Structure 1
Amino acid sequence: MTLITEQSELEDFCGKLAGADFVTVDTEFMRESTYWPKLCLVQLAGPDSHAAVDPLAPELDLQPVYDLMANQSVLKVFHAARQDIEIFLHQGKVMPRPVFDTQIAAMVCGYGESVGYETLVVSLTGRRVDKMSRFTNWANRPLTPPQLAYALADVTHLRDVYIKLRERLDREGRTAWVEEEDAVLVADGTYDLDPQNAWRRLRPRTDNPRFLAVLQAVAAWREREAQQRNSPRNWVLRDDTLLDIAAQAPKTPEALARSRGLPKGFAEGRHGKALLDAIAEGVAVAPADRPKPAVRVDLPSSLTPVVELLKVLLKMSCDQHGVAPKLVANTADLEAIAMDDNADVPALHGWRREVFGETALAVKHGRVALAIKGRGLEVVPVPGADGGGETA
């Protein structure tokens, strides 16, 4: 069991991993009281070696780890990679490439949606992961032997999980399916932290452009403030308070103080002034420059049964192909297909069209039907169907 705390050890270890075909990666971090995750441990394993790296060790520079993440000749294997990738992107200013996410691969291989690591390890290797240290305080030092054992198991078992999933994907001709999804993980726009886009995560219930302009301005202020303080967003102002302020657009400290959920004395202080400035900035945005509401096309009531039928077909098709429905289509995609044969949704492109999209269009236009056979469903041809069909 290896814990790296010295620079020379880290450089030697990462240097050896740089010659490996793949390296499994995991991190342990704390985020309950901060905006940015506090990295507490990095676990790495090559085909025949493994170690945990202590980022909190005095004067330890993680640059060799970041260089490894950037090494295009080494595949980085994660399970549920998003938070780990976000950490490397923020702290090391590096996007790990190329990557392989075993959670995505498991969904392609029929293990269900968002399958957990422990479940996957048991299913593929027959070994069990000790969960006792899952919610431990990773910032405490020294780390205990059980903590290290748990942390290293996250990358040592992952080697075998990766190898077995990769063999199955290659055997079934689905490697490209996973590569397509993994490419999204490392796309430049996936980890957008631009404060100007922070308002989108609030999911406002109104499309009023003036309201959206104020919301964009105040949400950007909160995001910058949270980043500067390194505090959770809701420690600055809660979401519901922010939405109320955007709706009321107060102009004075007195009016701001009447906002729901605002801390006592906030409106009269420097933070209140900064927030009022942001509100004024949002109000002043020219109509042409205000955020554009998302274009919504209401589903005609006559197509509601079509969408419900497509949901049944999606479940049936994914069960038959051993792939999680979440990877193929969501409800919005099904509504788009119900309205338009040429809808620009993933389900009508590439492997998803083969698994589901082509049959969905055939069902929509009556060329095939769903029939109960025994205790299940089958897709059966419709006698006399001409094979045609026009865009709805």
Structure 2
Amino acid sequence: MAIDIFWIRDDAALAEHCAVWRRLPFVALDTEFMRVDTFYPKAGLIQVGDGERAYLIDPLLIRDWSPFAELLEDPALLKVLHACSEDLEVFLRLTGALPQPLLDTQLAAGYLGIGYSMGYSRLVQAVLGIDLPKDETRSDWLQRPLTEMQIRYAAEDAQHLAELYTALEPRLTEPKRAWVLEDGAELVANLRREVIPEELYREAKLAWKLSRAQLAVLRELCAWREIEARQRDQPRNRILREHSLWPLARFQPDNLVALARIDDMHPRTVRQDGNTLLKLIREAAETPPEHWPEALPEPLPHEASPLLKQLRAVGQAEAERLGIAPELMLRKKHLEALLKSGYPDGPYSLPEGLRGWRRELMGQALLDTLATPGQ
């Protein structure tokens, strides 16, 4: 079936179409972007599907994104996307806005028990019986002109996403629809939360093994890497590799030869930023004890595994009752945070991350399980 494709290549056309789209009950949104050697995604195409036709917005030609930003934030217009975390980054970078309310069809499929974390092609096949070509996913979306294959691929994505929502929507009874929207709002809220460079050391691999003095060095290394990645618009690992962070904080080299011997240290990093890193390590090592970070908690011991399994069983039982993919019910990091709050003898407290309907449905059951382990 031929798809009706409409190009939007100037600000006036975008404003005009945004006004029309905002009168609809929903729009399907997709993006094509490049992120090979940059920190931020570079938008190559924005697709909009309204169920009738596919609109292709050329971001290389648009200067005024304010009408599109207003559309994204219009509370009366539902925005439909699929597995959208990177699309959200594209929208934020391009327009300064994020879609709300947001319905992610990948999440919707999980709530309907169709499958968890299903790729777009598989879901379209499962629900609509349509086989999509996937040969353009890795092509150059910043080239102009785009090939006919690229254009067709991008248009089909937007068209079928609208059809997918139309097929799934009647099956999303309350409260499942509300849960999908709540999870969508959570995705947006997570992206809106400012990443504080000085806090990133907490997420570094093996950071819990370091002393408080060494954590002071790790904190500065992680913050420097994040700030430089943003300023240079380069991937974090291009600035300084992840696996070099821990040994740098642990061994604190004081010359370029020692620096070059650090695990996974790229010669380019030593050349470009070696002296900066040595200075940063030296200064961070002089941090007075009262300004050292608190020690980080150790990972849960192996003995906690049975308890973790019991907690997961609470989520699985609830998932079965509701006909939902069990992986959607309780995230591993939330269960681990719950266990860490009082292991081994309690009392336990529900982590901040376990919120909304999950807390209401399962919060007390999780605490009860920990109060009577093994029963």
The TM-score by the shorter chain falls in which range? 0.7 to 0.9
- The one-letter amino acid of 2:72's match is M
**What residue identity is the alignment partner of 2:79?**
K
| Percent identity of paired positions between Structure 1 and Structure 2 | 33
CA contact (8 A) 2:9 2:57 kept: yes
* Alignment partner, residue 325 of structure 1: 326
The one-letter code of the counterpart of 1:324 is A
- Distance in 2 of aligned mates of 1:114 and 1:342: 31
Following TM superposition, by how much is the alpha carbon of 1:28 offset from its aligned partner in structure 2, in angstroms?
0.5
Question: Alpha-carbon deviations, 1:272-322, whole Å to 9, x = none?
Answer: 232223223422333333333444584683x64444345455445423422
Residue 248 (structure 2) aligns with? 245
Deviation per residue, 1:42-80 (Å, 9 max, x gap): 0012244430111123x6443332232232332211111
1:297–1:144: structure 2 CA closer, same or farther, 3 Å change rule? Answer: closer
**Structure 1 position 356, deviation (Å):** 5.5
User: Could you tell me which amino acid in structure 2 is paired with residue 121 of structure 1?
Assistant: V
Report 1:79-90 matches (<5 A): 79-90=82-93
Show the counterpart of 2:11.
Answer: 7
Shift of 1:262: 3.9
1:178 counterpart residue number: 180
SS in 1 for 2:54: strand
SS in 2 for 1:13: helix
Contact kept, 8 Å, 2:65 with 2:94, in 1: the verdict is: no
Say whether the 8 Å CA contact 2:52–2:159 is kept in structure 1: no
Contact 1:77–1:100 (CA<8 Å) still a contact in 2? yes
> Structure 1 residue 104: deviation in Å?
1.5
- State whether residues 72 and 100 of structure 2, in contact with CA within 8 Å, keep that contact through their aligned partners in structure 1: yes
Secondary structure of the residue that 1:66 maps to in structure 2?
Answer: helix
In structure 2, the residue corresponding to 1:187 is in which secondary structure?
A: helix
Q: CA deviation at 1:114?
A: 1.0
1:165: which partner in 2?
Answer: 168
Q: Distance in 2 between matches of 1:175 and 1:196?
A: 38
Quote the residue 2:117 is aligned against: 114
Matching residue within 36, 44, 49 for 1:45:
49
SS in 1 for 2:130: coil
Structure 1 distance, partners of 2:293, 2:128, is 50
Structure 2: gaps of 5 or more residues: none
Q: 1:271: which partner in 2?
A: 273
Structure 1 residues 249 and 46, CA gap change in structure 2 (3 angstroms): same
Query: How far does the alpha carbon of each residue in 1:78-109 deviate from its partner, in whole angstroms, 9 at most, with x for none?
Result: 11121111122223222322211111122111
1:346/1:124 CA distance change after superposition, 3 Å: farther
1:213-268 CA deviation, whole Å, 9 max, x = no partner?
Answer: 2112112212222222222222222122232222122344454344344455865x
Deviating more after overlay: 232-241 vs 199-208: 199-208
From 254, 259, 267, the counterpart of 1:256: 259
User: Contact between 2:312 and 2:330, CA under 8 Å: does it hold in 1?
Assistant: no
Tell me what 1:150 maps to.
Answer: 153
What is the alpha-carbon distance in structure 2 between the residues aligned to residue 349 and residue 92 of structure 1?
29
SS of the equivalent of 2:103 reads: strand
Equivalent residue number for residue 226 of structure 2: 223
Question: What secondary structure, in the 3-state scheme, does the structure 1 residue paired with 2:140 have?
Answer: coil
d(CA) in 2 for partners of 1:66, 1:350: 27
TM-score by length of 2: 0.83
Shift in alpha-carbon separation, 1:341–1:327, aligned structure 2, 3 A: farther
Equivalent-residue separation in structure 2 for 1:99 and 1:117 (angstroms): 17
Q: Is the 8 A contact 1:195 1:219 kept in 2?
A: yes
What's the Cα RMSD here? 3.3
Cα distance in 1, alignment partners of residues 260 and 280 from structure 2: 15
Q: Is the 8 A contact 2:121 2:131 kept in 1?
A: yes
**Residue 29 in 1 paired to residue 30 in 2?**
no
Of 68, 71, 76 in structure 2, the residue corresponding to residue 73 of structure 1 is: 76
- In 1, the alpha carbon distance for the partners of 2:157 and 2:108 equals 17
Q: Residue 358 of structure 2 corresponds to which residue in structure 1? A: 352
Aligned counterparts of 2:197 and 2:359: Cα–Cα separation in 1 = 36
1:63 aligns with 2:69: no
The secondary structure found in structure 1 opposite 2:189 is coil
